Structure 1
Amino acid sequence: MESFSSFFQAQSSSASGWSSESLKNFRQISPAVQNHLKQVYFTLCCALVASAVGAYLHILWNIGGLLTTLGCMGSIIWLLSSPVYEEQKRVGLLMAASLFEGASVGPLVDFVIKFDPSILVSAFVGTAVAFGCFSAAAAVARRREYLYLGGLLSSGVSILLWLHFASSIFGGSTAMFKFELYFGLLVFLGYMVVDTQEIIEKAHLGDMDYVKHALTLFTDFVAVFVRILIIMTKNAVDKSEKEKKKRRNC
């Protein structure tokens, strides 16, 4: 946890003191890599739109569930196993995976819209701002500066999987649920930085697979968005219940 705290302290200090040195670090990214990043982020935006369409289709026809989750996993596996030169096919598979992922998150989105639509907007804006800030921080930082965090973040994901496995078998408490939410949010925020730097480094080494890189960032974005959405919704529900209790007591 000390490594995580030092990482976020470094992020805050760099955000408050971006200077000409930071811009020089950004200039270290070659024009070819900069064009690659533009392509990655454009593809990511298209994937997010496809995901929003998937969530909307669930609201219309209630299609989200196990089948859409399996469809998303199958599309990702098919994408990763396809050769890089089959560009149109891989882009289509990414859009399909995003659509299925949006439909899978659809039940949560539908519940939030019925409860308070403003929460959905706030969660998306918050995720977009966090993604932009952390990605920008990774881009202007020294190359490979935060890649060492990849091992720690992988360990964090393993902890989350074991906690989820334990809670599904033995039953989980409210405290464990909150820990999974907030710790998972911390882990995937860290992945936004690590994955951005890893994409930049791979591009410098000649890996220009923008579809795979967009998929990586899409996974990070959705993981953070879902957790922020759940946290904000839970806080709003708890606040609403407290207000109802106060009214009953009065």
Structure 2
Amino acid sequence: MDAFTSFFDSQTSSRNRWNFESLKNFRQISPVVQNHLKLVYLTLCCTLIASAAGAYLHILWNIGGIVTLLGCLGCMIWVLATPHYEEKKRVSLLMAAGLLEGATLGPMIHLAIEINPSVLISAFGGTALAFGCFSAAAMLAKRREYLYLGGLVSSGLSMLLWLQFASSIFGGSAAMYKFELYFGLLIFVGYMVVDTQEMIEKAHNGDLDYVKHAMTLFSDFVAVFVRILIIMLKNSLEKNEKKKKRRD
């Protein structure tokens, strides 16, 4: 009995020690890097607000399309090409990219509002929750612990692109489309973790380009949000069809 009690106590203390040590991992992040992270996530929030404004503008004036997509890509390339000391210009370009990205996603968001507005709220909430959890996991983990996943998720992304290319040429089934959707979601969730740790590591090495880092996280957020929204829309439509069949 005493042996069992001592074993239980040792296991409990080890769990408490693990939790305490995990929380102390934030101390591995220097004050300079912590300040950098604040700037990154503040810029990310502002970009998401600009994206929401872009989606609203599409609902009002139907401006979303290939032009806004090309404009978004152009603004992102412009951000990378602009020198770091032109900070205001780079931030303005990133906000413009967010606005155009939101307008590009406007048709999908408008469709979600027409079908079931709660799906849109749930998709955004789920994306924000996943983003927060996986970003926190990357920050709490040891430095460079998840960087090795970079090659894995890059290989997965390459595989996904080849699958989409093959589907566009030879045609794809519903099962293949569903696999691509969930597989893509898994890949970009992995990118959330890898990009967060890579951002922290670069900041430790002196790369404090918060605009570029915010743009990378914004791309991850949008990629996950789009896939979650599509999955939830498909499920909502299937439920509506089942309800109609039951009524008939």
TM-score range, shorter chain: over 0.9
Corresponding position of 2:218: 218
Corresponding position of 1:48: 48
Residue 154 in structure 1 maps to residue 148 in structure 2? no
Q: CA deviation at 1:165?
A: 1.1
Corresponding position of 2:73: 73
Corresponding position of 1:171: 171
Per-residue CA deviations over 1:110-155 (Å, capped at 9, x if unaligned) read: 0000110000000000000100000001001000000000011111
Corresponding position of 1:187: 187
Q: Distance in 2 between matches of 1:90 and 1:213?
A: 12
Q: Distance in 2 between matches of 1:18 and 1:93?
A: 43
Per-residue CA deviations over 1:72-91 (Å, capped at 9, x if unaligned) read: 01001111111111100100
In structure 2, what residue type is equivalent to 1:30?
Answer: S
Corresponding position of 1:104: 104
Corresponding position of 1:34: 34
Corresponding position of 1:232: 232
Q: Distance in 1 between matches of 2:47 and 2:172?
A: 34
Q: CA deviation at 1:175?
A: 0.5
Per-residue CA deviations over 1:16-62 (Å, capped at 9, x if unaligned) read: 99611112211110011001000000000000000000101111111
User: Normalization by structure 2: what TM-score?
Assistant: 0.92
Q: Distance in 2 between matches of 1:63 and 1:239?
A: 31
Aligned length: 233
Q: Which runs of 4+ in 1 moved over 6 A?
A: none
- Helix, strand or coil: the match of 2:105? helix
In structure 1, what residue type is equivalent to 2:81?
Answer: S
Percent identical pairs in the alignment equals 73
Aligned-residue CA RMSD (Å): 1.2
Corresponding position of 2:93: 93
In structure 2, what residue type is equivalent to 1:114?
Answer: E
Q: Distance in 2 between matches of 1:213 and 1:63?
A: 28
Q: Distance in 1 between matches of 2:142 and 2:25?
A: 6
Unpaired runs of 5+ residues, structure 1, are: 1-15
- Helix, strand or coil: the match of 1:19? helix
Q: Distance in 2 between matches of 1:184 and 1:93?
A: 28
Q: Distance in 1 between matches of 2:43 and 2:153?
A: 25
User: Normalization by structure 1: what TM-score?
Assistant: 0.91
- Helix, strand or coil: the match of 1:83? coil
In structure 1, what residue type is equivalent to 2:215?
Answer: L
Corresponding position of 2:13: none
Unpaired runs of 5+ residues, structure 2, are: 1-15
Q: CA deviation at 1:241?
A: 0.4
In structure 2, what residue type is equivalent to 1:197?
Answer: Q
In structure 2, what residue type is equivalent to 1:89?
Answer: K
In structure 1, what residue type is equivalent to 2:78?
Answer: W
Per-residue CA deviations over 1:198-241 (Å, capped at 9, x if unaligned) read: 00000000000000000000000000000000000000101110
